[in-house]
Amino acid sequence: MFGYYILIGLIALVSWLVSSKLKSKFEEYSQIHLQNGMSGAEIATQMLHDNGIYDVKVISTPGQLTDHYNPADKTVNLSESVYNQRNASAAAVAAHECGHAVQHATAYAMLQLRSQLVPIVNVSSTLSQYLIFGGLILGAAAGLGFGFYIAVIGLILMAVATAFSFITLPVEYDASSRALAWLKSKNMVSQQEYAGAEDALKWAARTYVVAAIGALASLLYWALQVFGRRD
């Protein structure tokens, strides 16, 4: 158990470092004001229209870095700063979230798979550790059947959540690629603005990489606890 806490601590530290770097990058590139004078909301609307999408609404949502695309109600939700501001960071985030809308409109396979897994993951991520802990307490570590099978069910649920984390990676990277390609092809940003947007999106993607690695490490640890001690 002590090893688990060390693992979680290391992952949390790396996650904090990446998140801190991401915030500093967004603050840095928020100082680069767009020459075209467009706000994040206007950038988003333009990208949607350029891709033939007119049934998606661009709305403002409270908070910082709370930006997301909701396929259920077809809304691009931009945090207040991104929605209103006119800088490289806002352009990057707005275009990235619209990248998800384009994925949805073009039936991008990985986004469809991810969306199908969302309700399952909402349940599995909550139950998995309870089942694993419960199974170990009931005797999985000692090889007692009932507890072992409960722990295995917990591992399966945790594996689903881990797979979800890795499926998220190509979805996020593809959305960023679509965003950057559009910003460049439509001459929406200058060379300096583009460089800032590209760097900001790279750091945003790294937060998902860290999350996926953390989920895999946790899964492997608990798998060793369940199967290793049973031998």
Q: For residue 131, give both structure tokens.
A: 């089942």
Listing DSSP states for 79-104 in one string gives: EHHHHH--BHHHHHHHHHHHHHHHHH
Report the distance separating Cα 71 and Cα 96, nearest Å: 14
**Token couple for 68:** 């997301």
Say whether 97 is catalytic. Answer: yes
Token digits for 103?
């994925």
Q: What are phi and psi of 62, to 5 degrees?
A: -65, 160
Residue keyed to tokens 């002590």:
2
- Whole-angstrom Cα distance, residue 169 to residue 230? 34
* Of 198, 202, 206, residue with least CA distance to 182: 198
Among 47, 11, 13, residue whose Cα is nearest residue 197: 47
CA-based end-to-end distance of the chain: 18
Could you give the strand order of the β-sheet that contains 57-61, starting from the edge strand earlier in sequence? 57-61, 75-79, 68-70
| Per annotation, catalytic residue among 97, 172, 193, 198 | 97
Residues acting as catalytic residues:
97
